[in-house]
Structure 1
Amino acid sequence: MADHTVALSVDNGCYHLTDPATAQPLLYHTGANGLVGVLGDGAACVCTGTLTGYVRVTVLAAQEPPAAPDPAAWDDIVEVSFTSPSGRFGPACPEAALLPNLASAGVGTYRLRVHVRGRDTAARAETANNADDVTEEHLIISWPDAGGEPETIIQATDAFGARLRAHPPTRPRCRRPIP
């Protein structure tokens, strides 16, 4: 079980995790946690401090729940449930071809643990137009799950996420709100 890292392109302050079988519109949605909002079966929005450009994303598809995260290494850590209708999902961007399928057990429900650091610095800069400018890092770990677990905030320390949690949208929207 190896992890894979890429400089992932973002636009409008987010990137999406999608399953090719989803019919969900890919909107901006923070969820109540300020980091990842599940849009429905096969689609989720991961909110970035970087408005446009690149963030560094590492993904790991596991077969079982990972060890407890190291809170000293990350600013925010959130877990959500994600349903994969086709048995394939990952970031919806050109760089996704370089990443493994996050649906390690095929069709079904997965638990996603999304970690982030550097969002506050990235939000001040707004853009990271090349890989050398990237200050924001994400780690996404997925594993098969029976489902039904509530969204869980393991850690929430960045100011960017605090602003999103203070004013969560009542529904997903097309564009990132101005914090």
Structure 2
Amino acid sequence: MGDAVVERRSGSVPVQYHQFDIKDEAGPVGPELGWGEAGFVVVMDGVIVVVTGVHTGSVEVEVALYEAEPGVGDGVWEEVVEISACSVSGDLQVRGMMDDLDEELPVLAFRGAGEYRLRVHARGREDGGDLDEGYLVQVWPAPVRAVAVPRQESPGTARALR
């Protein structure tokens, strides 16, 4: 496991309609992935959608970039999903669905265009707006692999939104 962090930064991400996005404006990041196939993460129209408990507002998101696969985050994370993403332009980023971030988070495709693995952690989604709702996105260069759901303690919100 490659626990050496290349960069780590967190910030407030705007949420609308229970979601924020991870996308590359130049093209799709991966094949479609429907509701329930990967917990609280969906891929629609080539965009990775992270389904939140908050309907409208903001959530805290931490981005951590690694050269190699890190260990899964500690026990504060109730849900964890791993997904592969391809960045066409090298500009794969966490973005609000309709609003820009006040402060930019690191570009996820930190080694340029290519394939990456994203491990998205969530906590507090079931509280639907509790101040403790937060996310950690770990990213490292890796070839495409199947979706994995290493931890899923509270699947109710994603199911209720379908």
The TM-score bracket by the shorter chain reads 0.7 to 0.9
Secondary structure of 2:85's match?
strand
Matched, 1:79 2:82: yes
Distance (whole Å) between structure 2 residues aligned to residue 3 and residue 113 of structure 1 = 14
Other-structure match for 2:143: 146
Secondary structure of 2:7's match?
coil
Superposed, 1:1-179 pairs within 5 Å as 1-22=6-27, 30-39=35-44, 41=46, 43-70=47-74, 72-93=75-96, 94-95=100-101, 97-121=103-127, 123=128, 125=129, 134-147=131-144, 149-161=145-157, 164=159, 176-177=161-162
Q: Deviations over 1:135-154 (max 9, x none)?
A: 2100001111111x111000
Distance (whole Å) between structure 2 residues aligned to residue 34 and residue 107 of structure 1 = 27
Distance (whole Å) between structure 2 residues aligned to residue 39 and residue 106 of structure 1 = 23
The amino acid across from 1:87 in the alignment is G
The amino acid across from 2:12 in the alignment is A
Other-structure match for 2:3: none
Other-structure match for 1:173: none
The amino acid across from 2:104 in the alignment is L
The amino acid across from 2:41 in the alignment is V
The amino acid across from 1:74 in the alignment is W
**Deviating runs (4+, > 3 A) in structure 1?**
none
TM-score after normalising by structure 1? 0.75
Q: Deviations over 1:20-57 (max 9, x none)?
A: 20268xxxx6451221112365x210000111101110
Higher strand proportion? 2
Secondary structure of 2:68's match?
coil
Identity of aligned residues (%): 29
TM-score after normalising by structure 2? 0.82
Cα offset, 1:159, TM superposition: 4.4
Contact 1:30–1:45, Cα closer than 8 Å, also in 2:
no
List alignment gaps of at least 5 residues for structure 1.
126-132, 168-175
Cα offset, 1:108, TM superposition: 0.9
Contact 1:56–1:134, Cα closer than 8 Å, also in 2:
no
List alignment gaps of at least 5 residues for structure 2.
1-5
